């Protein structure tokens, strides 16, 4: 499948054609290189300013290579309100808003099951691992505790992904894979038709589910058999240079940082024994997690012969350590700085491997993030910027809500849970009391919005009926609203407010808001003969899948609403 270029036989035809379809794919001239691999790299919690923040200390082969040689969109944003991991990954994969692709949050309340569900859980497809079971050491990822089984699949994604469309376009000949520490990071990008592998904290190896295979490929079994994670046993995460050479070198021990399971707040951070209860968890909140992902991805490329023929293949690599490090230490910390510099080296190694095996001129690379990052409130306070921690129990404990419960004749079932950003009400109790659910939910939203910490509260009833003001914030929330999965009231906290408690674990910082620090992400296209360019107009992450589809000549994913980025298509040789 040849790379696209603008088709023009004369100035008149070119003008007319471009007016209708400015980036329509066509076959390249004979002798020009093909796109043999689409490499989609997603860095979890990488805010748009971060790839270049410590650029003077990065090598030439990682972020600097991408920034210097690629088409860089300097003002790229997610356009939905709930900036969480699965929401951003699914948006990048599908080109659709969460209202359409259905992944409205890392968890949502399933009314049919009468419980919260984890986004990619599926009991029909258990893990293949001999030690299959739900990971329990998930203190920095408590959303997974909602999963009632180890089974995983992409079936909750309601529309096709770009990778699905590539499978269809090539009649199943394209090889499609997703790899990540996080199951949701791998599964969402591989789509319904690809294969996904992720890191198991329980087993310390890379696993998959019966949705994808009946048995592990022999090379996966062999690779896991080398016990790659165990090699970090007894070691520590240490700095790569003199501490004074780091921007945050004099700020290693900040009071808002979290000491998880003895990992400490200062360097070096010990992993402990390989058989320790939290050993594999600690690997994921350090560069080790990304190094394991990159090593597995290289082995996958080699063993599955990606990019070996003229049929283009697809590989998604999602790096997660930035997210975990950001939660535990904050994005403005020595740990975050040190991790990003190590990720730069890991990324450089991956790109060099792809170049040597396939050729970057035959590889279309796209780099982005599932969401940005908020600074730790205490860090902002030190610099005179108002920011605070929000206690979600404040909602039910507020005197206004006591009066509301009395008004409706309901107790605590009025607001049964608050899993940010959604408040959920007890529909059965409301119906039993003979109350109108829409009226109750709208009243709850009105009272919630009167709390000083809450900037906006909108009921799902008003969202479904279109009874919301025509503002950008309302549009962000609407793009996140799905009648079957969204809670009863959507909550937006004031800027720089955050919920710091994750299932009993106090974290330094988080994300999930519609404010720009959480929506701002990098979008970079590189490789495949692209010429460097900086683009300063605003673009959105829904544009990524549409652009990939145009570049590879597939139809757009079924729910895609983004635009094709002409700067990418016109730059492909």
Give the pLDDT mean for 423-444.
96
pLDDT given for residue 148 in this prediction: 86
DSSP conformation letters of 320-362: -HHHHHHHHH-SSSHHHHHHHHHHHHHHHHHHHHHHHHT-GGG
Q: What angle do CA 201, 284, 504 make, to 5 degrees?
A: 80
Give the pLDDT mean for 255-263.
95
Partners of 197 in beta bridges: 179
Give residue 484's pLDDT band: very low, low, confident or very high (50, 70, 90).
Answer: very high
**Distance (Å, rounded) from C-alpha 337 to C-alpha 347?**
15
Name the percent of the chain lying above pLDDT 90.
86
- 388-495 and 36-69+78-379+515-520 share a CATH fold: no
Residue range 36-69+78-379+515-520 in CATH 3.40.720.10: yes
Question: Left, alpha or beta for 237 (phi > 0: left; psi -120 to 50: alpha)?
Answer: beta
Contact between 363 and 350 under an 8 Å Cβ cutoff? The reply is: no
Q: Which residue has the higher pLDDT, 395 or 447?
A: 447
What are the residue ranges spanned by the domains of the chain? Answer: 36-69+78-379+515-520, 388-495
DSSP symbol at 374: P
The answer, yes or no, to whether residue 6 has pLDDT greater than 70, is: no
pLDDT given for residue 448 in this prediction: 96
pLDDT given for residue 505 in this prediction: 74
Question: Left, alpha or beta for 525 (phi > 0: left; psi -120 to 50: alpha)?
Answer: beta
Q: Which of 13-17, 248-252, 285-289, 543-547 has the weakest average pLDDT?
A: 13-17
**Distance (Å, rounded) from C-alpha 488 to C-alpha 415?**
9
Tell me the CA distances in angstroms from 333 to 237, 322, 342, 385, one per residue in order. Answer: 15, 12, 14, 17
Give the pLDDT mean for 80-96.
98
Give the pLDDT mean for 371-380.
98
**Distance (Å, rounded) from C-alpha 266 to C-alpha 263?**
9
Q: Is the peptide bond before 99 cis (omega within 30 degrees of 0)?
A: no
Tell me the CA distances in angstroms from 489 to 105, 300, 425, 436, 456, one per residue in order. Answer: 14, 43, 9, 15, 10
Supply 403's token pair.
């009066």
Give the pLDDT mean for 211-216.
98
Q: 236-237 and 269-270: which strand pairing?
A: antiparallel
Query: Mean pLDDT for the chain?
Result: 91
Q: Is the pTM here over 0.85, yes or no? A: yes
Q: Is 455 exposed, middle or buried (0-12, 13-18, 19+ CB in 10 A)?
A: middle
Supply 549's token pair.
């589809």
Supply 74's token pair.
């300097």
Main-chain dihedrals φ then ψ at residue 565, nearest 5 degrees: -90, 105
The answer, yes or no, to whether residue 1 has pLDDT greater than 90, is: no
Tell me the CA distances in angstroms from 117 to 102, 191, 535, one per residue in order. Answer: 13, 19, 40
CATH topology for 388-495 is Gyrase A; domain 2 (3.30.1360)
Contact between 317 and 179 under an 8 Å Cβ cutoff? The reply is: yes
What is the four-CA torsion angle of 569, 304, 164, 62, rounded to 10 degrees?
Answer: -40
Q: What are the tens digits of pLDDT across the range 301-349?
A: 999 999 999 999 999 999 999 999 999 999 999 999 999 999 999 999 9
Main-chain dihedrals φ then ψ at residue 499, nearest 5 degrees: -95, 115
Q: What are the tens digits of pLDDT across the range 497-525?
A: 999 876 567 899 999 999 999 999 999 99
Q: 195-200 and 176-180: which strand pairing?
A: parallel
Where is 534: in which H helix or E strand?
A: strand 533-540
């Amino acid at each position: 499948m040849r790379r696209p270029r603008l088709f023009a036989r004369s100035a008149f035809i070119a003008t007319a054609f471009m007016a209708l379809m400015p980036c329509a794919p066509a076959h390249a001239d004979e002798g020009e290189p093909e796109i043999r691999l689409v490499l989609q790299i997603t860095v979890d919690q990488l805010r748009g300013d971060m790839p270049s923040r410590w650029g003077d200390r990065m090598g030439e082969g990682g972020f600097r290579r991408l920034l210097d040689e690629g088409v860089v969109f300097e003002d790229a944003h997610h356009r939905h309100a709930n900036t969480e991991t699965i929401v951003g990954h699914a948006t990048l994969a599908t080109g659709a808003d969460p209202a359409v692709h259905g992944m409205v949050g890392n968890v949502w309340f399933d009314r049919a099951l009468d419980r919260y569900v984890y986004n990619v859980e599926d009991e029909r497809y258990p893990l293949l691992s001999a030690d299959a079971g739900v990971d329990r050491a998930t203190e920095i990822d408590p959303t997974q505790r909602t999963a009632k089984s180890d089974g995983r699949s992409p079936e909750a994604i309601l529309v096709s992904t770009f990778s699905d469309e590539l499978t269809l376009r090539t009649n199943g000949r394209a090889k499609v894979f997703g790899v990540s520490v996080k199951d949701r990071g791998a599964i969402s990008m591989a789509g319904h038709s690809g294969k996904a592998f992720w890191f198991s904290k329980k087993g310390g190896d890379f696993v998959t589910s019966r949705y994808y295979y009946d048995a592990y490929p022999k090379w996966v079994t062999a690779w896991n058999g080398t016990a790659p994670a165990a090699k970090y046993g007894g070691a520590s995460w240490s700095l790569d240079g003199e501490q004074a050479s780091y921007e945050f070198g004099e700020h290693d021990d900040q009071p808002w940082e979290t000491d998880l399971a003895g990992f400490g707040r200062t360097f070096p951070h010990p992993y402990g024994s390989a058989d320790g209860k939290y050993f594999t968890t600690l690997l994921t909140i350090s560069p080790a997690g990304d190094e394991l992902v990159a090593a597995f991805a290289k082995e996958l490329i080699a063993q599955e012969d990606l990019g070996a023929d003229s049929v283009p293949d697809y590989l998604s690599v999602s790096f997660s350590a930035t997210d975990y490090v950001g939660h535990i230490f904050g994005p403005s910390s020595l740990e975050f700085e040190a991790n990003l510099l190590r990720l730069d080296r890991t990324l450089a190694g991956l790109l060099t491997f792809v170049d040597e095996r396939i050729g970057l001129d035959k590889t279309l690379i796209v780099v982005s993030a599932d969401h940005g990052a908020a600074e730790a409130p205490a860090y902002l306070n030190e610099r005179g910027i108002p920011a605070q921690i929000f206690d979600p129990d404040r909602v039910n404990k507020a005197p206004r809500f006591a009066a509301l419960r009395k008004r409706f004749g309901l107790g605590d079932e009025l607001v049964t849970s608050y899993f940010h950003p959604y408040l959920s009400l007890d529909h059965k109790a409301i119906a039993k009391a003979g109350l109108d659910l829409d009226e109750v939910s709208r009243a709850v939203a009105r009272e919630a919005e009167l709390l000083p910490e809450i900037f906006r509260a909108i009921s799902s009833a008003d969202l479904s009926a279109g009874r919301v003001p025509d503002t950008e914030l309302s549009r962000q929330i609407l793009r996140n609203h799905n009648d079957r999965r969204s809670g009863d009231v959507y909550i937006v906290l004031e800027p720089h407010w955050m919920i710091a408690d994750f299932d009993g674990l106090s974290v330094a910082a988080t994300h999930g808001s519609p404010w720009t620090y959480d929506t701002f992400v990098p979008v970079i296209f590189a490789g495949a003969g692209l010429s460097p360019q900086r683009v300063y107009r605003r673009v959105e992450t829904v544009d990524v899948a549409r652009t990939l589809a145009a570049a590879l000549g597939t139809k757009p994913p079924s729910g895609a609403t983004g635009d094709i980025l002409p700067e990418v298509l016109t730059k492909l040789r």
